[in-house]
């Protein structure tokens, strides 16, 4: 079964009372509306695409807050990675 939101293959989630098809790429779950005027052609950004669109300070704040790590540690890690 293809995902109506992004078109990739959907997988069966059997960890619930009844099986649902879900898309691991965009997070769509069978039976939920696409919402917010989305159509099958719309594409939601993945976390990787979202981080790539940020500048370095925004990316540091996003990673540090999400992982609950000091921003200085993330900053030093990024500066060593791209030097």
pLDDT in tens, 45-60: 777 777 788 888 888 8
Put simply, whether the predicted model's pTM sits higher than 0.85 gets the answer no
pLDDT of residue 24: 80
Residue 63, domain extent: 45-83
List CB contacts of 62: < 8 A, sequence separation 6 or more.
Answer: 50, 51, 54
Q: Are residues 83 and 51 in the same domain?
A: yes
Kindly tell me if the per-residue pLDDT of 4 is higher than 60: yes
Q: Are residues 4 and 34 in the same domain?
A: yes
- d(CA 42, CA 47) in angstroms, rounded, equals 16
List CB contacts of 38: < 8 A, sequence separation 6 or more.
Answer: 5, 44
pLDDT tens figures, 70-82: 999 988 888 886 6
Q: How many domains does the chain have?
A: 2
Q: Where are the beta strands (DSSP E) in the chain?
A: 11-13, 20-22
């Amino acid at each position: 079964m293809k995902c109506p939101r992004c078109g990739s293959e959907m997988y069966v989630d059997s960890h619930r009372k009844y099986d649902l098809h879900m898309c691991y790429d965009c997070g769509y779950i069978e039976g939920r509306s696409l919402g917010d005027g989305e159509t099958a052609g719309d594409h939601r950004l993945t976390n990787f695409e979202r981080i790539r669109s940020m500048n370095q300070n925004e990316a540091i704040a996003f990673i540090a807050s999400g992982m609950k790590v000091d921003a200085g540690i993330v900053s030093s890690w990024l500066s060593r990675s791209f030097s």
